Structure 1
């Protein structure tokens, strides 16, 4: 029977989480602060730790730092609980060695899925060996956490100044023999623009793309840029993200973007109930293959702009348009799915005709991450 240590200072939440986990057959030990919880971890060496961020005596981040510094318990997976208003906690937790996070309030099903995914991590890692996923994910996170934190802050600062990702004018184009490209576009944008003022629409779009930016950053995007109302993102393998391959990180980012759209829809329902707005929704396309990041000099404003180019990028943009007509939330080329075999669940599969191309594209609908049993 898997053992879980739960740290949560709120008695009601602690009781709820423990009840859900015990109902699934797990043994649960609980603590109401980080100090007591960490001692439970050291004494019992559980299979999983679930911890709130805000706790007395020792908060979740300090507890996580102490856990990762102890060789006897450093590889135990940790899930952090944080509120929707504390988005910075998500970034800090992921770059400090957390394996996952759950935002409050959460559904019991979300908790079950997150716990099951971490408890089955060894089986997942075995299934993903053909995708070059390193077995020692926890050790890599510990070794690289300081570097990841610095890398994230550099990217975020550059993005906020409208210069991310920056490029050296003297440097050459970057070429990747295999990368994953994600393109997300807002559906019904024209209908929203018709019924909302420019200020209201900008608030809605900003809310979604703030969440989208956080999501792609969390999963190690190499490059992102806006294309019309859409967002184009490139993921590549590098030493900074060597623990999980680019295809799986792109898939997780795509699922996060769909969830972000659902949160925006809830916001519209609460703020504009009488407007009769079309549904705020997105469609996402994923594709893998060779990609070049071309560095172009701006003759009017100076500086260097980075432009993703190549057939892989072109196919991704076309796939999103065609798949959205079929009602697919996330469409993935079979070329991309081969890199995440066993890690995701797929639905319908079809040969999709793309405008301007002679051959149809073999693609499938991506439904979610697979739970290994």
Structure 2
């Protein structure tokens, strides 16, 4: 049976978590701070670590960083525990090495589901290393990644107290020599419009986009804005996301958006059963390159507005249209693939002719992340 180390300075919470895991048959060791927990991981080599963030002696972040820096234990999966008031902790954990997070107060069903997912994922990694099952193992890993994405979506923070970077904070245009543009759009919006009233359609779209902002925020988007029924986001390298480059973070966000669309289909079946509605489908395009956030003055209200401009932006919008016609869910340009440097599972490849462009664009269908 799997061995799990639980780290929390609150004895009552630690005891409850340990009891729930033991009830499921897991072997559990307990530590009261990050330093003691790290020592326990080095000595006992557990299959999983469940750790609080705010602790004396060594907090959860420091423990996770030390664990990842030790070659002997760096592959050990880590689930961090945080509260709804610690959104910055969630983002830091997601971009600095944690495999998953849970919010306090702990929902024990979520705890057991997240534990099973991480242990299954670890087991499949080991199986892939020990055997040469090829395609069968790849399909199994993809299934586990999809389950993990659903867990992320279920526990994404519902309300964000902190505002997105506003135009007022930008006194001049900002130019990024290396950035990734993500554009997502509802591909069958006209078909849904025919079947639903404006009020019903608004509820469906809101069901999807209410989680999109959280997903993009958690994976470190620098700027986002609506474009028609679609949403455009810009990812750049910054001080709080420097452990994972902007291309990979944008790709992870894209996979989360596809999973969100699947959840909307459940919403349609629940609230509009018997209406013969088309499936809710979205398509995401990813492109990397130079991006400028141009500051424009609003002549009506006097407030400055921000507009992402540049060839990288327009290419992403054009690529999304072509990918939709080809039936792809996520399309990545060659420049994005260079950014992630082999970190993706890919499918079909195609040279797209983009409207108004003399040169075709090489693009690849993204299926998931490689482990």
User: Quick check: TM above 0.5?
Assistant: yes
Q: Which moved more, 1:201-210 or 1:352-361?
A: 201-210
SS in structure 2 at match of 1:99: coil
Partner of 1:188: 188
Kindly report which structure 2 residues correspond to 1:282-301, keeping only aligned pairs within 5 A, or say none: 282-301=282-301
Partner of 1:94: 91
User: Contact 1:176–1:236 (CA<8 Å) still a contact in 2?
Assistant: yes
Q: Distance in 2 between matches of 1:72 and 1:292?
A: 34
User: Contact 1:38–1:67 (CA<8 Å) still a contact in 2?
Assistant: no
Partner of 2:9: none
The structural deviation recorded for 1:205 is: 1.6
TM-score, normalising length from structure 2? 0.71
2:10 corresponds to 1:9? no
User: Contact 1:187–1:282 (CA<8 Å) still a contact in 2?
Assistant: yes
Partner of 1:144: none
Partner of 1:215: 215
Partner of 1:369: 369
Distance 1:73 1:288, change over 3 A: closer
Partner of 2:236: 236
Kindly report which structure 2 residues correspond to 1:1-373, keeping only aligned pairs within 5 A, or say none: 4-5=4-5, 9=17, 18=26, 29-30=27-28, 35=32, 41-45=38-42, 46=45, 49-51=48-50, 60-62=52-54, 66-69=59-62, 75=68, 78-80=78-80, 92-95=89-92, 99-101=98-100, 104=110, 106=113, 110-111=117-118, 115=122, 157-159=162-164, 164-168=165-169, 171-371=171-371
The structural deviation recorded for 1:196 is: 2.7
SS in structure 2 at match of 1:240: coil
Q: Distance in 1 between matches of 2:364 and 2:264?
A: 26
The structural deviation recorded for 1:342 is: 2.2
Distance 1:279 1:17, change over 3 A: farther
Distance 1:328 1:35, change over 3 A: same
Q: Distance in 2 between matches of 1:181 and 1:364?
A: 15
Partner of 1:129: none
The structural deviation recorded for 1:207 is: 2.3
Distance 1:314 1:107, change over 3 A: same
User: Contact 1:38–1:63 (CA<8 Å) still a contact in 2?
Assistant: no
User: Contact 2:344–2:368 (CA<8 Å) still a contact in 1?
Assistant: yes
The structural deviation recorded for 1:35 is: 4.4
Distance 1:60 1:276, change over 3 A: farther
User: Contact 1:100–1:114 (CA<8 Å) still a contact in 2?
Assistant: no
Superposed CA RMSD in Å reads 3.8
Distance 1:94 1:118, change over 3 A: farther
Q: Distance in 2 between matches of 1:273 and 1:13?
A: 38
User: Contact 1:42–1:73 (CA<8 Å) still a contact in 2?
Assistant: no
Distance 1:246 1:232, change over 3 A: same
User: Contact 1:79–1:98 (CA<8 Å) still a contact in 2?
Assistant: no
Q: Distance in 1 between matches of 2:63 and 2:101?
A: 24
SS in structure 1 at match of 2:17: coil
Deviations 1:252-295 (A, max 9, x none): 11111111111121222222222221111210000011111100
User: Contact 1:167–1:306 (CA<8 Å) still a contact in 2?
Assistant: no
User: Contact 1:30–1:37 (CA<8 Å) still a contact in 2?
Assistant: no
Q: Distance in 1 between matches of 2:87 and 2:332?
A: 27
Q: Distance in 1 between matches of 2:366 and 2:5?
A: 33
5+ unaligned residues in a row in structure 2: which ranges?
Answer: 7-13, 69-73, 103-109, 127-156
User: Contact 1:5–1:41 (CA<8 Å) still a contact in 2?
Assistant: no
SS in structure 2 at match of 1:9: helix
User: Contact 2:293–2:308 (CA<8 Å) still a contact in 1?
Assistant: yes
Q: Distance in 2 between matches of 1:243 and 1:253?
A: 16
Distance 1:281 1:239, change over 3 A: same
How many matched pairs? 312
Q: Distance in 1 between matches of 2:33 and 2:297?
A: 57
User: Contact 1:182–1:287 (CA<8 Å) still a contact in 2?
Assistant: yes
Q: Distance in 1 between matches of 2:60 and 2:358?
A: 55
Distance 1:68 1:221, change over 3 A: closer
